[in-house]
Amino acid sequence: MIQAGMEHIQLDSTEWSHIVERLGGTEALARSAREHGAFIRARGVRSAQDVLRLAMLYGPGGHSLRSVAALAAAADLADISDVAVLDRLKAAADWLEHLCKEQLARLAEKIGVTITQRPIRIVDGSRIEGPGDRVWRLHLCYDAGRAHIIDAVVTTTKEGERLDRLAVTPGEIRLGDRGFPQPNGIRNTLDAGADVLVRLTWNSLQLTANGKPIDWLKVFKQAGRQVIDMPVQVHKAHSKFDPIDMRLVIIKKPSAAAVKARAKARRASQKNQRRTDPRTLAGADYVILLTSLKREEFPAALIGTLYRLRWQVELAIKRLKSILHIDGLSAKDPHLARAWLYAHLLLALLLDHISAGVGAIPPFATGWSLRLALARDNSSRGSVARRHLAAA
């Protein structure tokens, strides 16, 4: 089988034919490789699927270009130099990206537009540093109910995190952390027919309540006595922007988490040699959430439960880094780096599909965690939401 996260990927794998079929078959691979310039003529490599093997050896296999050439020769896979491997992989970057998009498109066709229950989609990004000062950003969209990466793209860091960076499905609930509350991204996600749940800091967005700026110290004091659930309007500073009506939900953290957050805020102020804003210290005691979900279906307690599902995408990124070592990028050439990154992502998508086929095991058993979390909410107001989420 393909050994992900190990020192090599076996070339004599009995599973390779299944992988090829999962990617559309030999003819489809050859056709798409020609279309994307990854395999035009043999010259030491016999087929498109052999180019794919070279990419897997170099990317998730963790081998140097010289080692890939030596292994390929020993296995009678290809008779090329390390420089030729370099050229082949640079030319394969667009093709590998295309194969990833094909896998994601098949999954979207299967569970995206045909689904009637509300899917819970979590977006996140992660920096991947290469040699020198070259830095890439991996953007992921993760379906919590099905434990799948359903959309992904690799960009430079010039393209920041946005809620609408990856495709939005009408009816979904899109979750994001404190890097995602931006007025345009929120509006575009809502206009696409989804609902939004993002985490804030007190100064993330320009918010008003009843037409007035929020008095954060007053609100935090009230949140110490009870959960805050209030209507607010989202504005965009220094721009013509129709306000967006949303809900602000503020939930008190456990005492240990609050102490840790306050200490972190003080350290940040000391590092920047400035006085800690009292609103930052007060806000460290709370989880501040902004959502478009209706209170009648999603009471505040259920909003908190939903946001806690965000750990699923963090685990997906951790698996990519700790198991597949996608953060071990050593390529300096941008095209070679893209080939390396997309080979890792392609393998991650294949492993997601395989794990779903053999049955969910932790940390993939998200459906059970959803049902357990929802079972704890006995509020009658949450009954509609529980029906949606339990089905998801």
336: Cα separation from own chain's centroid: 23
Helix (H) or strand (E) run with residue 374 in it: helix 366-375
Rounded Cα distance, 195 and 207, in Å: 18
| Residue in 197, 189, 180 with CA at minimum distance from that of residue 251 | 197
- Angstrom distance (rounded) from CA 88 to CA 39: 8
- Each residue's pLDDT tens digit, 245-287: 999 999 999 888 889 988 888 888 777 777 888 999 999 999 9
Would you call the peptide bond into 363 cis, given omega within 30 degrees of 0 as the criterion? yes
Beta bridge partners of 245: 233
pTM score: 0.73
Residue among 212, 279, 210, 211 at smallest CA distance from 250: 279
User: For residue 56, what are the contacts with CB-CB under 8 A and spacing of at least 6?
Assistant: 2, 9, 343, 347
As given in the structure block, the two tokens for residue 57 are 């050896």
DSSP string, 260-271: HHHHHHHHHHHH
Tens place of pLDDT per residue across the chain (392 aa) = 444 433 444 544 567 888 888 898 999 999 999 999 999 888 899 999 999 999 999 988 889 999 999 999 988 889 999 999 999 999 999 999 999 888 887 766 665 433 336 889 999 999 999 888 889 999 999 988 777 888 999 999 999 999 999 999 999 999 999 999 999 999 999 999 999 999 999 999 999 999 999 999 999 999 999 999 999 999 998 888 999 999 999 999 988 888 998 888 888 877 777 788 899 999 999 999 999 999 999 999 899 988 988 888 888 888 888 888 898 898 889 999 999 999 998 988 888 776 665 444 333 333 333 333 333 343 433 343 333 333 33
83 exposed, middle or buried (CB, 10 Å; 0-12, 13-18, 19+)? exposed
Q: Tell me the pLDDT tens digit for each residue of 304-331.
A: 988 988 888 888 888 888 888 898 898 8
Reduced to 3 states, what is the DSSP secondary structure of residue 154? strand
- Residue 371: its pLDDT value, please? 37
233 - beta bridge partners? 208, 245
Residue 114: its pLDDT value, please?
A: 37
Domain boundaries, the chain: 16-111+333-358, 120-316
